[in-house]
Structures are given as C-alpha cells and as structure tokens.
C-alpha cells in the first residue's frame, strides 16, 4: 500500500552477505536481514501482475526515484534519445517458485520469499553499451 500510494518513495536492497552459519537459524536468531538482491524485482513484478502496483509506479520505485536519490539520474532511470540505455529484460509470464536450496544463488538461504511464487524471469541486463544475457 505504501509503495502504491507514494508513502514509500522507493525500494532498495542492502546487500550485506553473511556466512551461511550466521543465517542458518530462524529469522529471530539469525544475522539481521534477508537476501533481497535476487528477489526484489520479482516481488515488485508480482505486485504489478496482481494489480497492486501500477506500471508507472513500479518504474518509479525501482528505477527513477532511486537514481534521483543517489544523484545518478544523469545516467540511470529513464529512457530517452541520446541517454545511456540501462534496463533489465524480464519475462513477466514466467513464474518461479522460490526454493532456498535450488533457486537462490546467494550464500545465505534465509529468505522471506521461500515457498512463494514470484513473477518475472530475469533474462538479461543492458548496461549502457554492454548486454548480459542470463
């Protein structure tokens, strides 16, 4: 609701990897946080597909607002002629069940989305003049 209505300006992840032992207990006793780098965009796309997050707001909270906050909106966060092309290619029809042992590449397997079906297979990343296909 906070993302949809604008109460929350944008989303980000705090990539602070921990050794598997520090994250192997339950959420109450493990090192703080959950892996999010692999699931953030998929969680947002799931909200979008469910009609909970409009397309323009999805782009804003995941791209334009963070770029502006970080002061890099001269290179990231918009599509425009003669502007560096930075984008993520996703398949919004693909759904993946998040399974700690099989689907997460992070060393930590303590993730709040384990057991969830999330939308969006990430197929590639465009970073200015480079293309990374997954």
> Looking at the annotation, which residues are catalytic?
14
Q: Rounded distance, CA 123 to CA 91, Å? A: 7
Burial class (CB in 10 A: 0-12, 13-18, 19+), 16: exposed
Which secondary structure element, helix H or strand E, spans residue 2, and what is its range?
Answer: helix 2-5
Structure tokens at 45: 């796309």
Taking alpha carbons only, the member of 55, 43, 121 closest to residue 88 is 121
Instruction: Starting at the earlier edge strand, list the strands of the sheet with 117-127.
Output: 86-97, 117-127, 130-133
């Amino acid at each position: 609701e906070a993302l949809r209505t604008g109460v929350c300006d944008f989303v980000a992840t705090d990539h602070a990897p921990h050794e598997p032992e520090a994250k192997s207990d339950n959420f109450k006793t493990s090192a703080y946080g959950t892996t999010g780098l692999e699931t953030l965009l998929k969680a947002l796309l799931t909200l979008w597909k469910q009609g909970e997050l409009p397309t323009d707001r999805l782009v804003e909270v995941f791209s334009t607002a963070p770029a502006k906050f970080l002061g890099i909106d001269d290179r990231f966060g918009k599509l425009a002629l003669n502007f560096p092309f930075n984008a993520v290619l996703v398949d919004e029809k693909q759904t993946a069940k998040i399974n700690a042992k099989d689907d997460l590449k992070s060393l930590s397997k303590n993730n709040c989305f384990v057991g969830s079906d999330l939308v969006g297979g990430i197929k590639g990343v465009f970073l200015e003049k480079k293309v990374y296909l997954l």
